Structure 1
Amino acid sequence: MRNLESTPKIYVGTYSQYNNGSLFGKWFDLTDFADFKEFLQDCYEFHRNELDPELMLQDWENIPDFLISECSLHKEAFTYFEAIGEMDHETAEAFEIYCKQINYWPSNGYELDDQLDGFRESYRGFFGGSGKDATLEYTYQYIEETGLLSGVPSALEKYFDYEAFAKDLFLEGYSEYEGHVFVDY
């Protein structure tokens, strides 16, 4: 996993304790567990004082909402954290956006590997760091990479309307979220 500030953690209590007015539980650092099964075993072991504890996830940190709710942690969460642990911060942020707002994982039914493949095909990079319009920054790169203006004389090239082209480009085929640019498929 990455640093302590981005470590996924869950405060786990039980519905029985909660219904009896107690918030008794424990913070579990998910980086301490190899997989979902090991995490659940530790939770049940901690709440062994109850006959049949019904776990309640009362609070969490650094876990995307699409992986967790009050009553469940998605079984693919550990695989997800392993995958983003191998990414730099910017790419991990973009992958979370892709899963949450573009391709709706895990509810789309895809395996994580397929989701990662789709992300790699779609993601074009982060263009919001310069304080300028990310769509315009990407448009300049797009025009350069595609050679769109390569045959145009330099005297005419300065009249090209990059802003209008950026609007059209992002109306049909590209999306921008928080400075991250994606191809729409």
Structure 2
Amino acid sequence: MKSLENAPRIYVGTYAQYNSGSLFGKWFELSEYDSYHEFINACLVYHSQEPGGSPELMFQDWEHIPGALICEYKLDERAFDYFNTVAQLDAVTQDAFQCYCEHISCWPGNKNDIDTQLEEFQACYQGYFGNENNPRLAFAYQYLEETGLLDGLPKIVESYFDYEAFTRDLFLEGYCELNGHVFSDY
């Protein structure tokens, strides 16, 4: 995995330690591992002195990992595919892709492989408008300009156009906005 600016990491302990009142464990930087299995093996080796032989890993804390990929007892095996994919994206697109995966497409629950997920994201991502006071309105202005919907109208008629109502209707059916990112519904 390529190193990320906000590299994902997990504090890994065991249930036996936790149940005996100890939070003994270690932060594991996922960028140091090439695969899910390599990471799990490193965790098991680290906790190999656990009484009983086979430690039951407990992910007690994590950073920079989407919630759909992790819980206290499991890291999704496709997490490394996700991290390798987002490492190739710029920061704004990383944020948009995470929003898309978590709130629109519900990945990894939708069973897409990461390449299909990225293709679907790229097909519906319209851009980032979060620098504006009203991202939806900013998108609507861009949409009107790109589609030429108001082209050819006399300026007097165009001045009566209700941009706010058009924006509302645009986002009722066809588009959604999350954290300044705009996505089409198709």
TM-score (norm 2): 0.95
Structure 1 residue aligned with 2:165: 164
Partner of 1:138: 139
1:131-169, Cα deviation, whole Å (9 max, x unpaired): x11110000000000010112122322221111100110
Give the whole-Å Cα distance in 1 for the aligned partners of 2:17 and 2:168.
Answer: 55
**8 Å contact from structure 2 (residues 4, 31) kept in 1:** no
> What residue identity is the alignment partner of 1:138?
F
Deviation at residue 21 of structure 1 after TM alignment: 1.1
Cα distance in 1 for partners of 2:21, 2:164 equals 58
Structure 2 residues not aligned, in runs of 5+: none
In 1: Cα distance, 2:126 partner to 2:145 partner: 14
CA shift for structure 1 position 76: 0.6
* 1:101 equivalent in structure 2: 103
Seq. identity, %: 52
- What amino acid sits opposite 2:174 in the alignment? G
Q: Secondary structure of the residue that 1:2 maps to in structure 2?
A: coil
Quick one: distance in 2 between partners of 1:29 and 1:99?
22
TM-score, normalization by structure 1: 0.96
Query: Match of 1:30, as an amino acid?
Result: L
Pairwise mapping of residues 1-20 of structure 1 onto structure 2 (< 5 A)?
1-3=3-5, 6-20=6-20
Question: Which residue does 2:156 correspond to in 1?
Answer: 155
CA contact (8 A) 2:10 2:61 kept: yes
Structure 1 residue ranges, 4+ long, deviating more than 6 angstroms after superposition = none
Q: Which runs of 5+ in 1 are unaligned?
A: none
2:24 maps to a residue whose letter is: F
1:165 and 1:23 map into 2 onto residues whose CA distance is: 55
Quote the Cα distance in structure 1 between the aligned partners of 2:137 and 2:123. Answer: 21
Q: Over residues 82-134 of structure 1, what are the superposed CA-to-partner deviations in whole Å (9 max), with x where a residue is unaligned? A: 1111111111111111111101000111111111111001110110112x111
Aligned CA-pair RMSD? 0.9
